[in-house]
Amino acid sequence: MSRFEIYSPEGLRADGRRWNELRHIKCGINTHSKSADGSAVVEMGASKVVCIVQGPQEPETRSRVREKATLSVSVTVAPFSTTERSKHVTNDRRLQEMSANLQNLFEEAVLTHLHPRTEIVCSLTVIAQDGGLLSCCINAMTLALIDAGLPMYEYVSACSVALFDQTPLLDPNNVEETELASVTVGIVGETDKISLLILERRLGLDRLPPALELGVEGCKVLRQVMDKEVRRHGAMRLASRAE
Amino acid sequence: MKFSVSELSYLRSSLISSPPLRPDCRKPGQFRPVESEVDWLPFTNGSARVRAADGSECIVGIKTKVVARSEGSLIEPSVDITGYKDNDPLPNSLAEALRHTLNACPELTAQLILTEKYAFRLYVDCVVLSFTSHPLSLLSLAVFRALKSTRLPQLISSRDDTLVDEIPQFNDDWDAAQPICTKWSPPLVLLLAIVGDNVLLDPTDAELEVAETALCITWKNNAIAAPIKNVDIGSGKNVGGYNPKVLLDAYDLVQSCAAQVVSMIVS
């Protein structure tokens, strides 16, 4: 049994949110304009991820020369990102799996056939983690790829949902994520079709549909937030060009 | 960046002329502009972000943990560079350089000791997001800023535990935390390139390409301090040794301009 009251009978979570509320989202695009082709920072609550995209560029190794662009994703977790300091090794299995997931997801969303024989290098750096790590990475990568000017079908947005008994809880923080089973949902655009689904613990099959539904709703909100940021930045760039 | 033979030759002859003519028109003792931010990471005791004008960026987070004093070194630096593996020589040599510099600082170790048996261990974790020239200077600037902003929780139990075994107790109030840098200033490592008989502060990548060697000099409490040593820059095109007189010039240059560098990053 948890030391914390995850979800009170009045319908409030430990941090004061209702079951269907996201945490505060802050995103920035083109944050590292001098050192990268595309860059973005996404904060979801206390989690913070920086994504830097280089490319499309000439691949470093011949194995990456293909008829479409190769996405290479690397994830670095800063040792100070968690409450208790922990040094990750670069070839950590969890991180490798996460970068493979990101690569698969984005190879569907990016029009890679338009840039044959090139490589797109995405480096994600996790600066602070408080739950929803994968979803935060996905959202940051979408914005950075858009900033790099790569053609994409639509925004990719992701959000996680934890299940407290029968109640799905949107965008769980670290405490909720360690206590409960959670599922990460990723969608491309504003469809109801799920492109990414990652479940890390056991969950009753009958409880999955409401969780997925809530997750998709969360993704749509995130897409709007990201779209707003892209448009804000675009308008700023246009205005500076007109001067 | 790759340069042609004629480009390198042009660069070298302009840098060895007297006074040296640097490609970006800087004076020999002029640092490139940097901007920095402190105390911006929520989960750390002290943190800093330093960005250079060319887009190089370094993030440092300092965290502490109470350990028994017998458990080895109290200062644990680590360096991660995006795109580099853990066993790459560059991040490891940078971490080693930081370890040397910080361990050669008795004021810092004195601040970390809690009781006869316990002490804080300081984890200085650096992440280099991107860099164009040798990242040592930038890293050191970020560590300097982060140490300046580091605060340690206030001890409320007794400092003397030789007779009675006692686990250290701390004040819950974060506002009562003590800054680690009270009357002293953390060390700052400055990178200098030696080209001919000239010494150049904060060399760019191109300048290092034609340099004989690079030198790192530590600046602490308004004076030059240990360690002072050569840095492997890996170019090795002009290996021919250098005039020992240049070392004195390097000393003079650091003495005349280090205070400016410190005031630049603190403001």
The string of pLDDT tens digits covering residues A165-191 is 889 999 999 999 999 999 999 999 888
Domain ranges in chain B?
18-266
Check if A85 contacts B (Cβ < 8 Å): yes
Report if residue A9 sits inside a domain.
no
Report if residue A220 sits inside a domain.
yes
Over range B65-75, report the average pLDDT: 89
Is residue B229 pLDDT above 90, yes or no?
Answer: no
Report if residue A4 sits inside a domain.
no
Over range A4-20, report the average pLDDT: 89
pLDDT for the residue numbered A90: 64
Edge-to-edge order in the sheet of strand A47-57: A25-29, A38-44, A47-57, A119-128, A70-77
Give the nearest partner residue to A80 out of B56, B57, B63, using CB atoms: B63
Is residue A217 pLDDT above 90, yes or no?
Answer: yes
Q: Longest C-alpha distance within chain A, in Å? A: 62
Q: Which of residues 95-124 of A touch B (CB under 8 A)?
A: 121, 123
pLDDT for the residue numbered A86: 84
Is B130 or A90 the better-scoring residue by pLDDT? B130
Please give the tally of structural domains in chain A: 1
Report if residue A1 sits inside a domain.
no
Identify whether the C-beta of residue B214 lies closer than 8 Å to the C-beta of residue B203. yes
Which residues of chain A make contact with B86, given a CB cutoff of 8 A? 89-91
| Substitution target from B78, B130, B138 for chain A, most A beta carbons within 10 A | B130
Is residue B226 pLDDT above 90, yes or no?
Answer: no
pLDDT for the residue numbered B235: 59
Is residue A1 pLDDT above 70, yes or no?
Answer: no
Check if A32 contacts B (Cβ < 8 Å): yes
Is residue A72 pLDDT above 80, yes or no?
Answer: yes
pLDDT for the residue numbered B102: 93
Query: Which residues, 6+ apart, have CB-to-CB distance to A142 below 8 Å?
Result: A40, A109, A152, A155, A156, A157, A226
pLDDT for the residue numbered A237: 93
| Substitution target from B129, B138, B143, B147 for chain A, most A beta carbons within 10 A | B129
Confidence of residue A4 (pLDDT cuts 50, 70, 90): confident
Is residue B170 pLDDT above 70, yes or no?
Answer: yes
Instruction: Report DSSP letters for chain B, one per residue.
Output: ----HHHHHHHHHHHHSSS---TT---TTPPPPEEEEES--TTSSEEEEEEETTS-EEEEEEEEEEEETTSS-SEEEEEEETT--TT-HHHHHHHHHHHHHHHT-HHHHHHHB-SSSEEEEEEEEEEEEE-SS-THHHHHHHHHHHHHH-EEPPB-S-S--SSS-----B-S-GGGPEES-SSS---EEEEEEEETTEEEES--HHHHHT-SEEEEEEEETTEEEEEEEEE--S--SS-S---THHHHHHHHHHHHHHHHHHHHHH-
pLDDT for the residue numbered B237: 63
Domain interval for residue A103: 18-227
Is residue B162 pLDDT above 90, yes or no?
Answer: no
Report if residue A75 sits inside a domain.
yes
pLDDT for the residue numbered B92: 92
Question: For domain B18-266, which architecture applies?
Answer: 2-Layer Sandwich (3.30)
User: pLDDT digit string (tens) for A108-157?
Assistant: 899 999 999 999 999 999 999 999 999 999 999 999 999 999 999 999 99
pLDDT for the residue numbered B238: 63
Check if A40 contacts B (Cβ < 8 Å): no
Calculate what percentage of chain B has a pLDDT beyond 70: 97
Report if residue A197 sits inside a domain.
yes
Compute the count of residue pairs across chains A and B with CB atoms less than 8 Å apart. 74
Check if A167 contacts B (Cβ < 8 Å): no
pLDDT for the residue numbered B234: 67
Calculate what percentage of chain A has a pLDDT beyond 90: 73
Confidence of residue B9 (pLDDT cuts 50, 70, 90): very high
Confidence of residue A100 (pLDDT cuts 50, 70, 90): very high
- Residue A101's domain is classified under what CATH number? 3.30.230.70
End-to-end CA distance of chain A: 62
pLDDT for the residue numbered B118: 92
Over range A67-90, report the average pLDDT: 87
Report if residue A238 sits inside a domain.
no
Over range B205-219, report the average pLDDT: 89
Average pLDDT, whole number, for chain B? 89
B123 CA: distance to closest CA in chain A (Å) = 8
pLDDT for the residue numbered A197: 93
Average pLDDT, whole number, for chain A? 91
Least confident of A91-95, B51-55, B73-77: A91-95
Q: What angle do CA A175, A178, A183 make, to 5 degrees?
A: 110
Kindly provide the b/e burial profile for residues B223-238, where b requires at least 16 CB atoms within 10 angstroms of the residue's own CB. Answer: eebeeeeebebebeeb
Is residue A2 pLDDT above 80, yes or no?
Answer: no
Is residue B236 pLDDT above 60, yes or no?
Answer: no
Check if A24 contacts B (Cβ < 8 Å): no
